[in-house]
Structure formats: structure tokens, C-alpha cells
Chains A and B, each alone.
Chain A
Amino acid sequence: MVSSVMTQVGNSNSKSKRKSTNYSTLSNDSNEEAVLEGFINLLADLNIITSPETGTLNHEEITTIEYEEISHQTIKADSKQSNFIELTESLTESSSDAKIFTDVEYAVIDFQPETVGSSSNFAAFEQLQSILVGPELTDLQLITDKINDSLSKLEHQIYDSNALVELLVPCIHEILRVKIGESKEDIVKVITPIIDEVIQNRTQQSKISMGVAFAPIIPEAISQQINNAPDEMTEALAPTMGRAIKKQIEIEQDSVVDALYPIIGSTISKYMAETIRAINQQIEDSLSVKGIERKIRAKLQGISEAELIFREAIHFTVQAIFLIHKTSGLVISDIQRLDAQQLESEMVAGMLTAIRSFANDCIIQSGAYNELDAIEYGTSKIILEVAGYCYLAIVVKGEPPKQFISKMRQMLINIVREHGTIIENFDGDPGTIPNEINVNLENLRDYDLELDVNHKNKPSPLILLILGILGAIFIPLGIWKYHIGVIDAVEEKTALSLASAPELAVYRLNVEEHHGKLKLTGRVPNQFLSEKAAKIASDAAPKWSIDNHILAVEVPADPVTAAAEVKRVTEVFNQIKGTAISTQYTDGRVLIQGSVRNSLDVTMITNAFEKIPGVKLVSSAIEVPPAKIGIRFYFNINSEALMTADFNSKIEQVKSFLNQYPIKRLKITGYSYSHKGNSEYQKLGLKRAQTVKKVLINQGIDGARLEIAGKTSLPPGVNINQPEWQRRSVVLEPD
């Protein structure tokens, strides 16, 4: 709309221009000539130009001159007109502002030629104005009105949000497209900080629509992430895998079973096949004589009957073990016997892998999930056991025992569990494989050797049976014999002890074990001897309880025997040094006379005679002589220094005396003779006694048993006529 208005204005202006600049184009049009003529006349009337001379100039010249004159005489008007044209043109180009048009209008209205001063002139001016710009002014007014309307609408659209949105919506897409094309990074920077909030808000508004939006990309996104960061995906998904599987089982159990069947089904079918085969074999042979015989032997050896058959036929040996990467066929671990021909492990592994693939893809029918588990050739076999990203190929000779198969599977499971990631990523470099795998497989290789050693070390069951029977017989017998031997020894020892006691030796006493106790039987004349026998038995067998059944029988004593016994005991006591006794036995009474060394001996002798059978009373007339010690120490004149003659001998006698009489004390009396009883002499005597006491104490004698005194008299047994040196002595006497 606006552009069409501008076009019209442009046309009008161009028309004006043509009028102003090239009037010669009108010369061929009579109407226009007439108008032109009228126009010239009008200009002449206005004294703007002078009336031209007709025929003096050609038409072109006239037009040119007229134009020049118009130009000179209406400079001001022309300048205004020029302004108008410029404004109109500028409006045409930009249509920038309605005010411009108002200014133009004013410019035209204000047009007042200086040469016109009267009203007639004004009318002529208006007429001229009408002729010159009348239609344009009208158009201009219309344009102005339209522009005002447009501006109002535009203002409304800007300030009214709804209208503004309607206005901008068609442009936004284009703006964004252009902006993204120019600078994608800027758009990213602007959107990035809020994109998470946008997604969250939209998700809160409608989870379904967001789910629909994201659904197509999620599988691809997960695939990409698994490729880019498998560990992160594993860590993210692992914690919920268990729950997800449980939930899926709840939702659709059959599909889970179908999905897991390739893994579990093949394993179960393999075990079932082995089990059924074993059962069949057992059933086939179970009723034959040979089968029964084999059963017995198998039982004796502790193995199955089928295993016994194979073992007897072929000796089982492991020749080589290969742990092979399942897809590439590269050898992860190569364990072979050193004493056998070395196989080309890589070639064997490659071919086994190819054969496995071929069998799995081409032979095993669609829908069945099985693994090639063995390749047999002659008496040898390659056992194949698959787990994870690897499989074990074990070249064996003979039938592998069940324990071996079990051990192999357990080992493979452990290897896969502990080193599964390393195996999965194995890329042909054996340095990446832990040595633990090789060690484990070497153990598996040496299984047959281990088996042999075990068999060699394992004793025959028959021998074990015989040994068991013999053991059952002889071990209790041995224990019993040992027990009897112990009892016999105790009994013998106890009997000997009883026989060794003089007072019991003459009596027949029996010792025997009875219910864990030593039972003493027999007879003795009195209770004392019975108790004596029990005590001796207890000392001889301290770990045993004594059950004393010895009877004390008061047998009338034989006077002759009693007299003989008294006589015998008397002689025994007289053998003791210092003891000299005699006895008289009359009617059960014993009279003892004589002397002994001390009172203790008196008691002992009396008791001994009282215990003699037939002795009812013992009368003792035994004397105990007073203790004497005839030792004297001598001193020089007026001296307290001891003379050392026979010193050691004297000391020994003192010690012997004190030992013999442990309760005796010694009185040490120092003598220094003075017939006047001078105190100085008495002191000297005392000092001499002190000297001896000190010497005895130094020799280990208890000082508490020593008592000292000083005297001026003559020592006992010494008179005035005897040599003087005997007066200067110390005398020791029992106190």
C-alpha cells in the first residue's frame, strides 16, 4: 500500500520534472501547446516574463529563453519548488516521516513571490499553484493521511503485546535461521545455560510429549554411549540390572526364559546329557554278573562303576590345555606337557575356533542353542568348555574323570570371573595375561599326576577293611592288656612295699584291683598294723584309692615268740651308737634298762617294744647321761688372744655337740686366776670368753645358743699345783 502511494508520488514528481526541464516534448501536442500558451500568457500577466515576439524565434529557442527567465525571476520560488521536489523524492525513497509532507505543504502555501503584492496577484498565484501542483497537493494529502493511518497502526502494534507478537512471529523463524547461519556458536551460548531448565519445565508440563520427543534418539544415544564409554554405562546400569530383570520376569516371564535359554539351556542340556548317559550305562550293566562284580570293586574303590570301566581301559592323561579367545581364536594361555610332542597352539586354536563357529552356525539347527563340547579322535579327545569371551580346549587321552570335568569348569568360571575384562580385551599380547591363569591351568594339566599320586598313596580298601577289623579286635585287647599290666604292676609294687615293712612282712596280705580301687585283704594282729598296711599301700600307689579290708585279729601272743621278738628288737637298738640297753620279758611286760644318747631315743625305743605282739606293758629305766663337752681354749699371760693349737679340731667338736643337742646352749666361761679376786682379772676372763664366742659365731654357730661369763677362780679340774697356762683358759659347758 505504502509502496504504491510512493509510486504515484514518484510519477507525479517525474511529471513535474518533465514540465520544468523539457518543455519541448509538448510541442507536437496541440492541447498541450494551448495550455502552454495560456501558461506563458499568465506568466506575462504576472510580469514574470515579457510577452514573446511571435515568429522571431523558433519554438525551441522560445522555450529555452522562457525557461531561463523563469529561472532567473523566480529564484526564491524555484528554490522552494526545489525543496519540495527534494522532499518529495526523499519521501519517495524513504517515506521516513509524515512531518516532511507537512513542511512541503507549508512551503507551497508560504510561496509568496516578491513581485506579487496585490490580491489579483494572489489569485493568480493560487491559480498558478493550482495549475502547477494542485493535483500533487491533493495526492500528497491523501498520502499523508494514509501514512498517518499506517503510523497509528504501527504504534498500536508496537505497544500492544498481542499485536506485537502477531507481528513478530512470522519473522522469528527467519531471524533465527539467519542468525544460526551467521553465528551458530552465539545461539548455542545463549541457549545452553537454560536448556536443562527448559527440558525440566517441559517435562513437568508434559512427560508424554517429552517422551515422544526423545524416544527416537534414546536407542541411538545409548548405543553411542556404550561405544564411547562402556565402563560408565556399565557402572550406571549394573546396579539396577538385577531389579530390572526381576521386574521383567514379573511382567513377562516367558520372554525372559526365551532370552536366557541360549545361556542356561545349553548348560542344562549338557549336564542332563551327561547325567542320562551315566545312568544308562549303569542300567545296562547292573544285572550282569560282571556288572555286579564291577559294582563291588567300584564300591571298594569309592568310584562310580562307569568310571571304573574307563579307567581300566584307558589311563587318563592331560596332554595340552589352551585358553582361547572365543571370537578371534587367539591363544590366551598355552599349557602343554614338556615330555610330549608340542602342538602348534595358534594353529590348533584357530582351527578349533573355525570349527566351533562352523558347527554353531551351520550344523546346529536353528532355534537350538548348543555348544560344541568335545572333538573325539581315537582314544583322545579335545574337551571344549566355553565361558564368557573365551573357551578352554583340553587335549586329553582316555576318559576324563568327573572330578576333572568339575575342576575344569570351576577353574574356568573362576578365571572368567576374576579376569573376564582382561580376556575380553585380549588383543594378542600375552604380556597382558596375568600369570595366575597359567598357574591355574598348569595345576589342571597336572591333574592326572596328582590323581596317580593320590592313588598310590591311597591304601587299598581291602587292606583298610582288614586293618579295621584287626584294629577293632586288637586295640581294645591291647588297651585291656595294658590296663591289666598297669594294675598288676601296682598290685605287685604295693605287695612288695607291704612285705618290706618289718612289722608286716610276717603276715599274708593280698593286694588286688577291684572297681578301680586297690583292695587290701588279710589279717594282722591289731588295728595299728592294719592302718600301717593301708598307709604303706597308699604311699606305694598314690593315684589309687585304697580299699582296706585287712582285719585286725587279736591273736593270743606266743610268749616264746614275743620273748624272741623282744630280744631281737633289743639287739637292733643296741646297734645304734650311744645306745646300750637290756630287756626282760615276763608275762607280757617288758622292762628296759640301760642308757641312750638322748631322751628322743628313749621314746623311740619304748614305742618299738610296745608294738611287739604279746607285749602289753613296757617299763623303761633308761638313763640319758648329761651332755659333756671337754673342750678348752687357752691364752697367753695377761692376754685375751686365743692360742691356735688344735683350733680347727675344737671348732668341729663344738659344732658336733650343738648338732647332737640341738636344744642345748653352751656356757662359755673365761678364766683369769687371781687369788684376790681382782676385778681386772675378772674382766680379762670375760674378754677371753667374748673372744671365743666371737670365733664360734664366725664359724657359723648361732650366737643365741652361746652365753659368756668371766671368773677369777681356777678352771674346773685345775688346782694350784698344776701348770700355770691351764689357769688361763675358756671352758665350754652345756647350759
Chain B
Amino acid sequence: MSTISKKICLVGDYGVGKTSLIRRFVDRQFSDKYLSTVGVKISRKIVDLIDVNPENKKELQLLIWDIEGSNKFKAIASTYFQGAKGAIIVADVTQQDTLTSISNHIQNFLAVNAQASIVIALNKSDLIETEYLEKIRQMYQFDNNNVLSTYVTSAKTGKNVDEMFQLLSHSLL
């Protein structure tokens, strides 16, 4: 069983919880020593893709590029998108402007990788009453073939974090 590597990007405005999502997903493999001053943090995790047929079990090494959301790296961000097969666009459900930016992020990412897959993560869902979450999720469904799904996530509770990454991982192969 060979390990196939794929690059994905986490994109979103500053402070929406991208790094926290990665920290939650990669568990102990996350290391801050790769923090850099060039506006990107790279981490990796090996994902076992579950298949109906056990013989088709595959191991996928996700190289997760956490692209800093501050404006000073906005110009370089699109360069970091190159070669990525997928992206998670992250927004903060408690901040309307980050939700509004989702479309721009999708557009910017697809401009570089037209064939890539995208998952939307509406993060910090633990701060919103449960009855409103589904409504918010419905509001941010995108009619685009590249966008696989929209998740309401919480890096704090781990809600939908693994599911979101699993879905994206499956779409990469």
C-alpha cells in the first residue's frame, strides 16, 4: 500500500480558526516549529481512506498549507494555492464579514486550481445556538460543482472536523 501525497490549503480571513482546525485534525503531529514568517504554515497527516473493499484501502498523506489570513499576505496567497488539489474555506459563524468573504476565497482559489475540490467550514459553531446553525448552513450552500459541502464545525469541540477532512480526502483520489 503506497502513500500518496496531496496538497490542500486552508483559506479564510484572519482569526476564523484555521490553525485551530488543523491542530484539532492532525493531533500530535502538529508542530509549531514549522511556523514561518512567509505567511504559511505547513503540517501533514496521513489519512486512511475507508473503502468498501478492504483491498482498496489507501493511505493518503495530506500536506496542509495553513495560509495566513492577514491582509499583508494576501498578494502572495494565490501563489501558495498552486498545485493544491483541495481547499477548506473557513469562516467564523459569529462574524458576518468572514462569511461574506467565502465567495471571494472560493473564487480566488479556483482561479488558480480550477479542478480542485472545496469544502466550506463555518467554524466556531459552539458559540451559536444549535437551532440557528442549520439555517446558517443552508444560507451558505454554494451552487458550484467544485464545492463539495458546507460544514458547521467547531475546532473547540471537534464537531465535523474529521468528517470534513475525510470528505475532502476522498475527493482527492
Contacts and interface: CB of A to CB of B under 8 A. Distances in A.
Interface string B31-74: 00010101110111000000000000000010101000000000
Given A357-B79, A430-B5, 14 more contacts: A327-B82, A328-B82, A329-B63, A346-B5, A347-B34, A347-B44, A351-B36, A354-B36, A354-B38, A354-B40, A355-B38, A357-B38, A357-B82, A360-B79
A433 to B, nearest CB: 11
B6 A428 contact: yes
A727 interface: no
A271 interface: no
B76 interface: yes
A291 interface: no
Task: Please provide the 7 A-B residue pairs with the shortest distance between their CB atoms, ordered closest to farther.
Answer: A328-B83, A327-B83, A327-B82, A428-B5, A350-B42, A358-B38, A357-B79
Interface in B108-162: none
B76 A362 contact: yes
Chain A CB within 10 A, most for which of B38, B65, B84: B38
Contacts of A357: 38, 76, 79-80, 82
Interface in A173-212: none
Interface string B3-18: 1111100000000000
Contacts of B80: 354, 357
A355 B37 CA distance: 9
Interface residues of B, number: 25
A606 B6 CA distance: 116
Chain A CB within 10 A, most for which of B3, B34, B61, B79: B79
Given A328-B82, A329-B63, A357-B79, A347 B4 contact: no
26 contacts: A327-B82, A327-B83, A329-B42, A329-B83, A330-B7, A330-B63, A346-B44, A346-B61, A346-B63, A347-B42, A350-B7, A350-B42, A350-B63, A351-B36, A354-B36, A354-B40, A354-B42, A354-B80, A355-B38, A357-B79, A358-B76, A361-B79, A362-B76, A428-B6, A428-B85, A429-B2
A430 B44 CA distance: 17
Contacts of B85: 427-428
Contacts of A358: 38-39, 76, 79
Nearest to B72: A362
A318 interface: no
Interface of B: 2-7, 34, 36, 38-40, 42-44, 61, 63, 65, 75-76, 79-80, 82-85
A357 B38 CA distance: 9
Contacts of B5: 330-331, 346, 428-430
A247 B102 CA distance: 48
Chain A interface helix/strand/loop/mixed: helix
Interface residues of A, number: 22
A325 interface: yes
Nearest to B42: A350
Interface of A: 325, 327-331, 346-347, 350-351, 354-355, 357-358, 360-362, 427-431
Contacts of B76: 357-358, 361-362
Nearest to A345: B5
Contacts of A327: 82-83
Contacts of A355: 36, 38
Contact of B4 (A350, A361, A429): A429
Given A346-B63, A350-B63, A329 B38 contact: no
Contact of A428 (B4, B38, B42, B79): B4
Contacts of A429: 2, 4-5
Chain A CB within 10 A, most for which of B5, B40, B61, B79: B5
Contacts of B79: 357-358, 360-361
Contacts of B65: 350, 354
Contacts of A325: 83
Contacts of A346: 5, 44, 61, 63
Chain B CB within 10 A, most for which of A325, A327, A347, A350: A350
A223 to B, nearest CB: 12
Contacts of A362: 75-76
A328 B7 contact: yes
B1 to A, nearest CB: 11
A328 B172 CA distance: 14
Contacts of B84: 328
Nearest to A358: B38
A397 B22 CA distance: 34
A357 B7 CA distance: 15
B158 to A, nearest CB: 24
A350 B7 CA distance: 9
A351 B75 CA distance: 18
A388 to B, nearest CB: 14
A690 to B, nearest CB: 104
A358 B65 CA distance: 14
B91 to A, nearest CB: 24
B12 to A, nearest CB: 18
Given A346-B61, A429-B2, A329 B7 contact: yes
B75 A361 contact: yes
Given A358-B76, A361-B76, A351 B7 contact: no
Nearest to B114: A227
Contacts of A329: 7, 42, 63, 83
Contacts of B36: 351, 354-355
Contacts of B39: 354, 358
A431 B75 contact: no
A424 to B, nearest CB: 11
B46 to A, nearest CB: 10
A357 B84 CA distance: 14
A429 B1 CA distance: 11
A331 B75 CA distance: 25
A362 B40 CA distance: 14
B28 to A, nearest CB: 14
Contacts of A430: 2-5
Contacts of B63: 329-330, 346, 350
A351 B4 contact: no
A358 B39 CA distance: 9
Contacts of B42: 329, 347, 350-351, 354
